[in-house]
Amino acid sequence: MRLSIPPRTSRFAPAVFCVSRASVLWVSLLPGLLAGAGCKKSDSGASSSSSSASGDKAASYRFAFVTNNSSDFWNIAEKGLRKAEKDFGVRVDMFRPLKGEISDQQRFLEDIMVQNFDGVAISPINPDAMTSTFDRVAAKMPLVCHDSDAPKSKRNVYVGTNNIEAGRSAGAAAIAALKAANITKGKIALFVGRMDMQNAIERKQGLDETLGKLPGFEVLPVFLDKTDRALAKKNVEDALARYPDLALIIGIWSYNGPCIAGAVRASSRKDKPVIIAFDEEEETLKSVQDGLISATIVQRPFQFGYQSIKALKDLKDGKQVPTVVDTGILTVKKDNLEQFWNELRELKK
């Protein structure tokens, strides 16, 4: 069952839920969800606990929210968690793997299962490798996947983006940008942390559907960086140096946008490749503003946090919950950047 939010009298469509990441604008947030959101650098530790006033003895349930890395992307999701704490009278502890390793998530889950948690939401790093662990968790408590799914596991709900559609949207934005730049041939390079996460697999599928048979263009093997920003930037530098006919660069994860922008800015190449990114890191949006990045496909991480906790509480209360909550996406370009950015700043307050 897929739950969709009906359109409003706005030119932007709203989102749906699950925990993952088309064209939906943040202005379509459910009533009251704009309250509370902030963006700070992620701490150096692997996990952080709730500091909400609702995380006291009055909280009805205690939930865990596990990310797939420590990217700034998750700061907005944390604002959704804190809003959910207040709205639903629960406590939420957030766990952020420092290096995005499977072993970190497995350790977190083992700890969560022996502590007093009532449910967990997780963005799986490698769903196939962790299916048996997820099934053990699901036998003890409600399990939600967000941002990236584990469809073979016994998870109850997926909250997040339709990542195949996100890939298609990125491909469509790329084709439009290539046409505008009058580029008719060349190499296409994709950059991402790893290709065993479901969201990366599905986004590439959507990109392949739109770009794989584009006449005159060749899609190169994916450049992997293991969520290491230094390596992510070096991969771009290497591609720029190795392929003089590099025409299009696409960064699939949030931090890839700033890494790509930094490498391309520093490059001595006269003809810069077209750049398409994902998500809304500050440097990515600044690069859209100055025209270096043609478009970025943004998700709704606030809703990842909020809707995951809502689903967990509903499951604990015995309510019926849809198996997929699609939170929607939006293609941000220069023409709609200002409105999106203003709404994002409201979330970060």
Per-residue pLDDT tens digits for 295-348: 999 999 999 999 999 999 999 999 999 999 999 999 999 999 999 999 988 887
Identify whether the C-beta of residue 25 lies closer than 8 Å to the C-beta of residue 13: yes
Q: pLDDT tens digits for 42-78? A: 333 444 445 444 444 567 999 999 999 998 899 999 9
- Residue 349 is predicted with a pLDDT of 75
Mean pLDDT of 161-167: 97
Give the residue from 203, 208, 210 showing the smallest Cα distance to 172. Answer: 210
Q: pLDDT tens digits for 97-132? A: 988 889 999 999 999 999 989 999 999 999 999 999
Q: pLDDT tens digits for 257-302? A: 999 999 999 999 999 999 999 999 999 999 999 999 999 999 999 9
Question: Model-level pTM?
Answer: 0.81
Q: Give the number of other CB atoms < 10 A from CB of residue 219.
A: 18
* 322 CA to centre of own chain: 20
Q: What are phi and psi of 187, to 5 degrees?
A: -90, 150
Task: Look at strands 47-48 and 274-278 and give their pairing.
Answer: unpaired
Task: Look at strands 91-95 and 47-48 and give their pairing.
Answer: antiparallel
Residues of the chain with CATH 3.40.50.2300: 2-161+300-327+338-348, 163-298
2-161+300-327+338-348 CATH: 3.40.50.2300
DSSP state of 325: E
At the fourth CATH level, which superfamily is domain 163-298?
A: Response regulator (3.40.50.2300)
Give the residue from 33, 96, 14 showing the smallest Cα distance to 307. Answer: 33
Give the residue from 68, 328, 45 showing the smallest Cα distance to 194. Answer: 68
Give the position of tokens 């606990």.
49
